[in-house]
Amino acid sequence: MTETATIDQHPAWKALLDHAEAMRDVHLKDLFHESDQRYPDFSRRAAGLMLDLSKQRWRRETLDKLLALARVAGVPKGIERLLAGERVNLSEDRPALHTALRLPADAHLNVEGEDVVPGVHRTLKRMAAMVDKFHAGQWRGATGKAVTDVVNLGVGGSDLGPLMVTHALADYRPRDIHPVEVHFASTMDGSQLADYLTRFNPETTLFVLSSKSFTTIDTLSNARTAQDWLMGHLVNGRGDRDLVMRQHFIGVSASPEKMSEWGISDANQLEFWEWVGGRYSLWGAIGLPIAVAVGMDNFRELLAGAHEMDRHFANAALEDNLPVLLALAGIWNVNFLDIRAHSILPYEGRLEFFASYLEQLEMESNGKSTTNSGQTTPYSTCPVLWGQLGPNAQHAFYQLLHQGTQPVECDFIAPMRRYDRIEDDATRALLKEQHRLTLANCFAQSRVLMLGDEAIEDDGPRPNHKHYRGNQPSTTLLLDRLTPSTLGSLVALYEHKVFVQATIWDINPFDQWGVELGKKIATQTERVLASHEGVEALDESSRHLIEAVWRAEEQR
C-alpha cells in the first residue's frame, strides 16, 4: 500500500467485497446445512466468557479473509503497541493505558522511562482507605453523623461506567458494614440531583465530583447546586465551610490544580492520568462509587477479570482471540453486508445500563470519518448502536428486528447460571425457573432472527403480514455467572473489540473532537438566552425557539 491509500484499496478488502457479492443471496439457515461443524468452528471460550459467532452470516472462508484483512491492517502490531503504552492516541499524542489500571501490583510497565504500576496501586490503596472509612461508619459529615449516601456527580465516562457496574454487581454488596447507598446524578438540568436534594439528609450526604477534565459544565453546575445546598443547611453557625468541604466532597480528576481551585481538600483528591481516556476510566479512581457499593475486594476482582481478558487479547492467536473475532464480525456486517445498526440485548436485569455504557464506548470511540493520516474514510465506520434489556425490548422494538426493513446485527448476552445464592429454597426454585424462562427467550429470539418462519416446524403457510424473513445475524455471549470477574472480562472484551475495529478502519478510538463544537455553541447560546442579546445573528429556527422561551418566561 502507498502512504495515502486507505484500507479499502488493499487487495484483502477487495477480496472481501467479491466474497460478499458471492454471499449476497445466502440465507443463514442454509449455512447450518452446509456443515455440522459450524458451532465448534465459530465459538470460543476465554476468561469466563463463551462467544458464539455461528449465527453470523459468514463462512469459514469469510473469516479467513477477514483475518487476512486484520493482519494487513496491522492488528497484531497494534495490540502490542496499545498494551506497551505507545502513543496510540495520535491526535492527542499520548498512550491509552486503561489496561495498566488492571495490572497486578507485582507487574511492571515502563512508559517513556517510568514504571506506571506503582502509581496505579498507590491510588487503589487510597481508594481502599476511603472505602474502609465509609464501611466502618467513620466517614462523618460536618455535624458528626456517619455518611449514608454517596452521590457521584459526573457525566459520560465519569458516570456511565460506574453506574453500569454498580448496578450489575448489586448482588455483591458486602454485608455487616455500615450501610452506604451510592447514587448517580449526571444530567445538566439538575433533575436527578433535585430529586436527591429533596430526599437526602445533608448531614449524611457526600458528593464525589468525578470529572477527568474538571471543566465539564454539566458536572460543575450540579456540583455548585450541591455545594450551595450543603452550605445552606450546614453552615449556619454550626460548622464552617472548610469542614463541610472536607467532610462532604471527594474529587476525582486528572487535574489536581482544578480540584484545589474548586475547594476539594488535598486529602480528598484522587488523581488519575491523562493517558486514561474518560470512557475507559472505570478501572481506577473513577470507579470509587463501585468500590463503595461492592467493596474493594470485589472491585479488585473486577480488575482481575479485565486483566485476564487483556492477557488473552495479548497472547491468543488472532483466530482464537475473542475481541478480534467480535470485531471482525462487526466489520463484516458494516462494511461488506451493509448492516449499519447494532442492537445490544442483555438477558439479565442487572445489565440494565450495559447498552448505554456500550453506546458511549463504541460510538464515541469509533464514530469517526477521518483516518489517522487525515483522509476522509471512503468506507463506513461505527454502526448505530442501541439496546435495552432483551426481555423488555421483546415487548418494544423487536417488531422491527423481525419484520422491519432495516437489517440489524444483535448481541445477545446472558449468564448461564443465576440465583445460586438465594437462601430460601422455594424462592430460589422460582427465581431459577424465571432465569430458565429468560434463557429460553434469549435462544428463541436469536433462532427466529436467524431462521425466520422455519424456526417453527409444520406451521403451515402464512399470509405476508405473519411472515418472518429471518437472516438477521447475531452473536451470543454467555457468562458462566455474572460476577465481578466475568463482568470485568466482558467490558474489556468490548474495549478491545473497539480498538481492533479502529485499527482496521485506521481511525483514532481515543479522542472525541466531534463533541467539542456543540459545547462551544452551547456556551454562546446560553449567553444569548440569558442576556436577551444577539438572537438576530442566529438561524431562523433557533431564533424562534429562543423567543418562544422568552415569551413563556414573561407569562409566568
Ligand X SMILES: O=P(O)(O)OC[C@H]1O[C@H](O)[C@H](O)[C@@H](O)[C@@H]1O
Binding site for ligand X (CB under 6 A): 155-158, 211-213, 216, 219, 278-279, 364, 512, 515
Residue 196 CB partners (closer than 8 Å, separation 6+): 149, 151, 183, 185, 205
The upper half-sphere exposure of residue 282, i.e. CA atoms within 13 Å in the direction of its Cβ, equals 28
Cβ nearer to ligand X, comparing 18 with 516:
516
CB of 109 to ligand X, least distance (A): 23
Q: How far apart are the first and last CA of the chain?
A: 66
Other beta carbons less than 10 A from residue 461's beta carbon = 7
Is residue 306 helix, strand or coil? helix
Q: Is the dihedral of CA 228, 234, 238, 239 positive or negative?
A: negative
d(CA 450, CA 473): 6
Q: Which of 301, 308, 348, 364 is catalytic?
A: 364
In the residue annotation, 395 being an active-site residue is answered as yes
CB of 233 to ligand X, least distance (A): 26
Cβ nearer to ligand X, comparing 219 with 366:
219
Q: Which of 519, 526, 532, 544 is catalytic?
A: 519
The values of phi and psi at residue 310, to 5°, are: -60, -40
Q: What angle do CA 84, 67, 92 make, to 5 degrees?
A: 35
Contact criterion met (CB below 8 Å) for 263 and 349: no
Residue 222's Cβ-count burial label (10 Å; 0-12, 13-18, 19+) is buried
Question: Is the backbone of residue 74 left (phi > 0), alpha (psi -120 to 50) or beta?
Answer: left
In the residue annotation, 10 being an active-site residue is answered as no
Other beta carbons less than 10 A from residue 335's beta carbon = 24
Residue 275 CB partners (closer than 8 Å, separation 6+): 85, 89, 94, 95, 96, 97, 100, 111
Q: In what order do the strands lie in the sheet with 205-210?
A: 181-185, 149-153, 205-210, 249-253, 269-271
Q: Closest CB to ligand X belongs to which residue?
A: 156
CA 175 to chain centre: 28
Contact criterion met (CB below 8 Å) for 146 and 137: yes
3-state helix, strand, coil in the chain (%, to 5): 55, 10, 35
d(CA 334, CA 75): 18
d(CA 366, CA 183): 29
Other beta carbons less than 10 A from residue 185's beta carbon = 25
d(CA 235, CA 237): 6
The residue count of the chain comes to: 556
Contact criterion met (CB below 8 Å) for 295 and 117: no
Catalytic residues: 364, 395, 519
